[in-house]
Copies of this chain bind each other. A is one copy, B any other.
Amino acid sequence: MDAMVRELSYAQAIQEAMALAMEADERVFLMGEDIGVYGGAFQVTGDLVERFGAERVMDTPISELGGAGVAVGAAMTGMRPVFEFQFSDFATLAMEQIVNQAAKMRFMLGGEVSVPLVMRFPAGSGTGAAAQHSQSLEAWLGHVPGLKVIQPATPHDAKGMLLAAIEDPDPVMIFEHKLLYKMKGPVPEGHYTVPIGKAEIRREGRDLTIVATSIMVHKALEAAETLEAEGIDVEVVDLRTIRPMDKATIIESVKKTSRLLCVYEAVKTLGIGAEVSAMIAESEAFDYLDAPVVRLGGAETPIPYNPELEKATVPQVPDIIAAARGLVQGTR
């Protein structure tokens, strides 16, 4: 890693991407609740309103459906809105505009318009905010053609993928885990992009592939350290993009390791692990499997308020270690 590269938090990295994009392109602007003087519920926009003014860092009323629709309309007519949901849970109010309008507009109009819209969804549990402020709903949007759906796991990728998203002609949905916002990591200065649709191998290994998303990438890497000490050599693939999924990278990894564990925070049933597992079954990698694909996802419950219960609902490092061990040792 280049010693000259600064460390920024994930939130700062996002902020920097937005600032760069706004400097470079006057069509880019930000919309959301309390993103101006408040700086955003998670201080992601921070003081951008001071630099760019209230017209480009626009506070909206508490009107998620209407706000999303305004963003769609602005995107269809030449602007490049970056829309922040205060919590991804509130996107449930705006699914109509996201799914019926933004995702389908180009298609329904036979290619006559594009919808260069970016939406940011602070997601996930771990803050004690209980069932209505802690969901992970990326699988819903991953099921919707017309959208691109990403989950950057590092400050580096958060900046680079957001810049790629803003430059993308189609609607891109970014799920940001709230617990990542304060995580620091190296972030190059200036403009760069990280491509949408490409997974990244975070750690090479021979015995087992772990495909993880968002915060689970870090937990998987932590688990891999422990497993290494036990002689289990884990490859960790950071999926990064939910739609379109980078099948090739996963397939190649599985062909090498012959074992696959998929780790994600969302409710297990019909979460991203289901897709990864089914995709592998349909791929050439299937014949290389020495054991069936295993998923480690969230419990089949809303997120509870009590902190111990809350932790118990989503995969933790020991769970990953146990699942990996089971897979490699063939005790499932």
Q: Interface on A for B, CB 8 Å cutoff? A: 65, 89-90, 92-93, 95-96, 98-100, 103-104, 107-108, 130-132, 135, 137, 139-140, 142-146, 243, 245, 266-267, 269-279, 281-282, 286, 292-295, 299-302, 304, 332
4 more A-B residue pairs beyond the given contacts A65-B65, A273-B278, with a C-beta to C-beta distance below 8 A: A108-B132, A108-B302, A245-B269, A277-B282
Q: How far apart sit A142 and B266, CA to CA, in the bound complex (Å)?
A: 13
* B92 and A107 within 8 A (CB): no
Chain B residues near A89: list those with CB within 8 A: 100
- Given A95-B92, A300-B145, A302-B104; A294-B282 close (CB under 8 Å): yes
* A292 and B302 within 8 A (CB): no
Chain B residues near A293: list those with CB within 8 A: 278, 281-282
- Cβ-closest chain B residue relative to A270: B143
* A243 and B269 within 8 A (CB): yes
Chain B residues near A137: list those with CB within 8 A: 143
Q: How far apart sit A142 and B269, CA to CA, in the bound complex (Å)?
A: 7
Q: How far is the CB of A308 from chain B (nearest CB, A)?
A: 15
* A295 and B278 within 8 A (CB): yes
- Cβ-closest chain B residue relative to A106: B302
Q: How far apart sit A293 and B92, CA to CA, in the bound complex (Å)?
A: 33
Can you show 12 pairs from A to B with CB atoms below 8 A apart?
Answer: A92-B95, A100-B131, A100-B132, A104-B302, A107-B301, A140-B140, A143-B269, A245-B269, A270-B270, A274-B277, A277-B281, A278-B278
Give the contacting residue for A104; candidates B107, B132, B139; CB below 8 A. B132
Q: How far apart sit A270 and B242, CA to CA, in the bound complex (Å)?
A: 10
Q: How far is the CB of A213 from chain B (nearest CB, A)?
A: 13
* A93 and B107 within 8 A (CB): no
Q: How far apart sit A274 and B279, CA to CA, in the bound complex (Å)?
A: 8
- Cβ-closest chain B residue relative to A140: B140
Chain B residues near A142: list those with CB within 8 A: 269-270
Q: How far is the CB of A96 from chain B (nearest CB, A)?
A: 4
- Given A93-B65, A108-B302, A278-B273; A267-B145 close (CB under 8 Å): yes
Q: How far apart sit A270 and B270, CA to CA, in the bound complex (Å)?
A: 7
Chain B residues near A302: list those with CB within 8 A: 103-104, 107-108, 145-146
Chain B residues near A144: list those with CB within 8 A: 267
Chain B residues near A286: list those with CB within 8 A: 292
Q: How far is the CB of A276 from chain B (nearest CB, A)?
A: 8
- Cβ-closest chain B residue relative to A64: B96
